[in-house]
A and B are shown apart, each in its own frame.
Chain A
């Protein structure tokens, strides 16, 4: 410590070139610090401000929402929220229920299917394994808009068109490949010795998966669950095409369109509804984020 201080003192005497050398590991110069913080602050502002403005707008009446001289508070009150929740502007709570059901089912089904597929891909060598993995990757490249027509025909054939279950299956078909890829990567990090120890201890192959590998893959499961939930929660195109036009079968993302009409947009109500829609996604993230910790398998094998 003393020598380090002495070096710093001599460095200030010796000028800028030496000062650079005197910086210890992990230390930054003032200029670098300013640049770094500047970049971080502006990036944070860019991402936070729009959401902040939606929040601000959600308390304003529709007439004051768009104004040449916007103010933070302009006759702000909670009427928009009351109107949206009371159903005066459409069956908001009904849509909410639909969205919860569809997104919840999608999450449960997608994570279960992706986890079992991912485990098989991670642990077993079977014919077609490589092409399956490649296929999952290639499917990600498709623009989902081109899938609407073929999926519509499929659902019609299955008698699921206009039903929530049909939409759940459609969402699964888009989320499962991605989730499988992610979980396969995660399972790869769980040592196979654990599987073998479990089999020696008397577990069946499915028991190994269920009682040992899944608990160790919680962070991976949390991320995929969140991804599946958010995908289904905020999706508009499939939901408008595959659900019946009846008001009571809409999801939230589709329902929000009632606030945007041909001649006028109810910005205040739309913002309030948007905030209400975002809350469950935040809640789900809050639920899963505590599993987003590394090092769950620490201590399994000699590290």
Chain B
């Protein structure tokens, strides 16, 4: 067990101009923590993981595991195990041989290997398959063998590179919970890469969001959701995505289709200091609600939406509709009760549920302005 630290670590791929796949990554992972690296494709999350694994050079900065600088240590000297997206099982070896291979290379006695492989197989429900070759296994079983191969070694850090992306949706949800529980039980520091923000939110103790090789924010899932550091994180975390619109400002707040959404004092101060006339206004679909005609007072604070599409998910429904912002139409998504969704073409009135759930970002830099 060990803590992991990236100190200004960069990976620069040669080219013209050179590509900074991972740019000045500064990240500390505590002992026993489950950290998720998340980002869209090309964000450098896999590269960052491979730098830690020793499969990718570290061009600038350092990486340490358990306080030991491993920047120039080959993979086998780092005491880490990795689960690959493709699983990368050895096709010419049985499941048991696959799982015990690393121990065999270390010269662990055969009886001890058998014991440890058996133990891991019990944990992962693989006992029946120990004598099979990988090609005779289903996708989910192969995935478990890949996990088993990592567990058997008892490494100080687990690295997982999108280990669930080849599973079908149902199995993925199941395995997601199993991996999280397993990590809890083993207490091994784990770094997990995914592009799926639901996986990131449900599994990680902390989540690091990357974009274009740059760390955007690293925080607990709740913090990411409630206080995204910038407009990118705000749009990336949460499903469906946050409504992010550039809206004109008035003295008291944001101007939306004839309605002014009041903003907190400190936001208005920050905006005034920057002399902005517009802001990026963000509100999650679940922070908006439909306002009934009988709500009198609330109607005045609601803006009008023309329904263009309704997605019914059973418990909830997502209403896509357009409203006028400034002089152009903008599409908003609103989460409503699944039992009484509005119809296509209907005009509804929508209000912000709670003004604390409004996020304000700088229109150019995307930095968070609200507290």
Contact = CB atoms under 8 A, between A and B. Distances in A.
Contacts of A300: 86-91, 134
Nearest to B50: A196
A301 B88 contact: yes
Interface stretch (B20-28, B76-84, B172-180): B76-84
Nearest to B80: A200
B142 A203 contact: no
A302 interface: yes
A156 to B, nearest CB: 46
Contacts of B90: 194, 197-198, 212, 300
Interface of A: 191, 193-194, 196-204, 207, 212, 215-216, 295-302
Interface of B: 53-55, 74-76, 80-82, 84, 86-92, 101-102, 105-106, 133-137, 139, 142, 149, 153, 166
A201 B155 CA distance: 10
Contact of B139 (A196, A212, A216, A302): A302
Given A296-B91, A299-B142, A300-B90, A202 B84 contact: no
Contact of B84 (A193, A207, A215): A193
B88 A299 contact: no
A207 B104 CA distance: 13
B102 A202 contact: yes
A193 B88 contact: yes
**Dominant SS at the A interface?**
loop
Contacts of B139: 302
B75 A299 contact: no
Nearest to A215: B92
A200 to B, nearest CB: 5
B160 to A, nearest CB: 12
Candidate in B88, B153, B166 with the most chain A CB atoms within 10 angstroms: B88
B137 A299 contact: yes
A202 B80 contact: no
B105 A203 contact: yes
A302 B86 contact: yes
Contacts of B84: 193, 196-197, 301
A299 B105 contact: no
B94 to A, nearest CB: 11
Given A299-B133, A300-B86, 12 more contacts: A191-B88, A194-B88, A196-B84, A196-B88, A197-B149, A199-B55, A199-B75, A200-B75, A216-B92, A298-B135, A301-B86, A302-B139
Candidate in B91, B134, B142, B153 with the most chain A CB atoms within 10 angstroms: B91
Contact of A201 (B55, B87, B101, B137): B101
A203 B77 CA distance: 10
A295 B74 CA distance: 31
B91 A299 contact: yes
Contacts of B135: 295, 298-299
B166 to A, nearest CB: 4
A302 B166 contact: yes
Nearest to B84: A193
Given A216-B92, A299-B89, A301-B86, A200 B105 contact: no
A196 B86 contact: no
